[in-house]
Amino acid sequence: MLVKNLRRKSKLGRKKQLGMLAVLALISISSIIIIQLSTLPGNNPYLGHGLFSSGQGITNYPKEIIYLYPNRNDSDVDNIPSIGSHSYWPNLSDPNISTYDILTESNTNSSNDFTLVPNSAGTTQLYPNPDTKLNWECCNTSDDDSSYVFFNETLIWKLDLYRLENPPVIDGAKINYIEVYIRVKLHLLTESTYGFAVPMLNDPSWLIGEQSGNTFTVDPGDYMNFSSRWDRNPDTFESWNWSDLTELQAGIRVRVPNGPVAEIRCTYVWVVVNYTVPNYELDLELQWTNIPLSASDSNLCIITGNFSSNENLSIWYWNDNSWTEIIHNLQNNTWNNATLKIDNPEFTIRFKDNNETLDRLQDSWEIGMTVVVVNYISPAISPYFALFLGAFLLGGGNQSSISSTGFIIGAVALVSILGLVVGRFYVSGEAASFRKRRIKQLEEARDRVQRYLEESGDGGTP
């Protein structure tokens, strides 16, 4: 009977110890989970709804789906300058899907120019030299004193205008500006003085009449060149059109304060037309950084607005050393999505137009919120927990990345783990061996008592 009682008590003790062991294990696991939740990055403006700027550290974020906004528009992964412009690129990170960044093509061609010279008479008030030539004939080549027009009357402004030769036909070209040049000098007759010269521009159809450029002071000496520039048609205030050149006239206005002791001479008048045959292109990069590598797969999602034309806009991503197309043609006024595997914390895309040759039309596209949607796999054991253990054992606990609540809970977890170790030692270690030896000693003592009673005639009843 004594042996049975001892064995029953031993079994009950083992059950209690196993129960305590299970409770300690549950406490330890719960503490690890709580530490993960309590060591999220601090000062996170998107905490609780899974939205992150891509520069933020999110390696410990517990949500399965995370939305990452771009944080750079000045990357240059292919070492090729960007082409085009943003109206306001932070709008790509605006959750308000009706707010857009307008991407606009830029011209990639350089400008050229051509020259127009007088070819017939307009308004003439100056005097030709030699007098056998017409005024415009004296000013259509630069031959200095060989031929010129002149004026030497005192304090009177006089004007010469000349019709110009027909311009060349350049398909699709855009006029940037028109500049009128004059080549003049002040020729002294008896005493030192000075004069004035003004480049002129005119069209008989203009309601405003002839237009004066800058007024230049002409000192005695050799011939000098002066010019005035018009970026827009002075009559309409609009950009120049090719039809504006058909009836265009150019010339000079002069005055001499002290005539006839000096005369102003003009030997050459010419007009430079600066133009560009445009080729509009778009190639703009957009970049995300600090994307979690534990993401299983990702989606690029772009909301669009209106497009100015039907030219396709495609999306490419940088794949180590080359571009790979993922969306061939963005659709307007809808979401555009692409699934891809991101295996680098830095992710770069580019917006690329599809017409890169002889594109005469400047296009634009409204692009709204642009996000990378990450299906995120959180680590099984937080690295913050490992950091806590090291800090705790070294007498730390003041790590800025771990909150005080996390530290307290971590201490509970550590004590629980220590209890777990002690419990396992108690059940299966040396303590268990000592208990078995004690039971064996009690059984041997019972046997000796039994034999003594039998020998003394007491019947041996325990």
Task: Report the distance separating Cα 52 and Cα 239, nearest Å.
Answer: 46
Q: What's the sign of the alpha-carbon dihedral 227, 232, 233, 235?
A: negative
* DSSP structure class, residue 239: B
Please indicate, yes or no, if residue 392 is contained in any of the structural domains.
yes
Q: Does residue 149 sit in the same domain as residue 188?
A: yes
* Strand intervals (E) in 189-334: 195-202, 211-212, 216-218, 224-230, 249-255, 262-276, 280-281, 283-288, 295-307, 313-318, 323-327
Q: How far apart are CA 139 and CA 147, in angstroms?
A: 7
| 186 and 130 in a common domain | yes
Residues 123 and 172 placed together within one structural domain of the fold: yes
Query: How much is the mean pLDDT over the chain?
Result: 78
State residue 127's pLDDT score.
95
How confident is the model at residue 4, as a pLDDT? 52
Q: What are phi and psi of 450, to 5 degrees?
A: -60, -45
Does the residue 453 lie in any domain? no
Assess whether 223 and 287 both reside in one domain.
no
pLDDT tens digits along 388-403 = 444 444 444 343 344 4
Same-domain check for residues 228 and 293: no
In a domain, 59, yes or no: yes
Q: Which residues contact 41 (CB under 8 A, 6 or more apart)?
A: 56, 57, 58, 60, 61
Of 86-90, 188-192, 202-206, 367-371, where does mean pLDDT reach its minimum?
Answer: 188-192
How would residue 159 be classed by pLDDT, with cut points 50, 70 and 90? very high
Average pLDDT for 337-347: 87
Tokens encoding 308: 């100015």
Q: Which of 276, 292, 307 is the last residue of a domain?
A: 276
Q: What is the rounded distance in angstroms from the CA atom of residue 453 to the CA atom of residue 122?
A: 154
In this structure, the answer to whether residues 6 and 144 fall within a common structural domain is no
- Is the pTM higher than 0.85? The answer reads no
Residue 261 DSSP symbol: S
Q: Which amino acid is at 173?
A: A
Q: What is the per-residue pLDDT for 209?
A: 80
Residue-wise pLDDT for 176-234, tens only, equals 999 999 999 998 876 677 889 999 999 888 877 889 999 999 999 999 999 999 999 99
434 lies in some domain: no
Three-state SS at 138: helix
Range of the domain at 35: 2-39+382-428
Angle at 107 between CA 103 and CA 113, to 5 degrees: 160
Residue 388 and residue 352 in one domain: no
Backbone angles phi, psi at 136, to 5 degrees: -65, -30
Residue 283 has pLDDT above 90, yes or no: yes
